Structure 1
């Protein structure tokens, strides 16, 4: 946990914290889906670790490959992994018509 980051007390708090952190990427759209219910019994879910899917569209991804886009997203939440976030599926794209001349 980074300095000044309050502890995460429940799934709703974690969701709000993730959404707040991802605002650093100035998203045009952002959808955060808690998929933890799909991973019940999975070893990574033990102890309450959550599984999320993030769908984010941002101009900041322009000119970047998939790996670089994912790194930007992970940089926003790195200290929350592997607990309280066990897994983060990322769909990162640029706005439609972005990058076209």
Structure 2
């Protein structure tokens, strides 16, 4: 099972989702082809009603702990209650473009980075 499929399966099992989209955005970053390191998750669930963003994100990170401790480097979370999803126009914001990672950071290029 791919990392993307594992994320989709775990979130589908954990939440009563009205909408779930997991997008592999690794190709937009400085990683090898076919990587599964950067994901965007859009999840709509009535379980998020009355919860703040931090609680919502904590719930998702708890479910995806294995993926986050493994190969997943970044997870953009867009989590909504059904009412918030309707108000958003049923669209999550686009992810920003990659800034190039360490190869464009002078501290890393000179050997001074981590």
Give the alignment's TM-score, normalised by structure 1. 0.72
Q: 2:39 maps to what in 1?
A: 52
Greater length-normalized contact order (CA 8 Å, ≥ 6 residues apart): 1
1:16 counterpart SS class: helix
* Number of positions where the alignment pairs a residue of Structure 1 with one of Structure 2: 82
Structure-1 residue corresponding to 2:27: 37
Aligned partner of 2:8 in structure 1 is: 19
Q: Which has the higher strand share?
A: 1
SS of 2:70's equivalent in the other structure is coil
Please give the root-mean-square deviation of Cα atoms over the aligned residues, in Å: 2.1
TM superposition outliers: structure 1 runs of 4+ over 4 Å: none
Unaligned ranges ≥5, structure 2: 86-114
**Rg larger in 1 or in 2?**
2
Q: Which runs of 5+ in 1 are unaligned?
A: 1-7
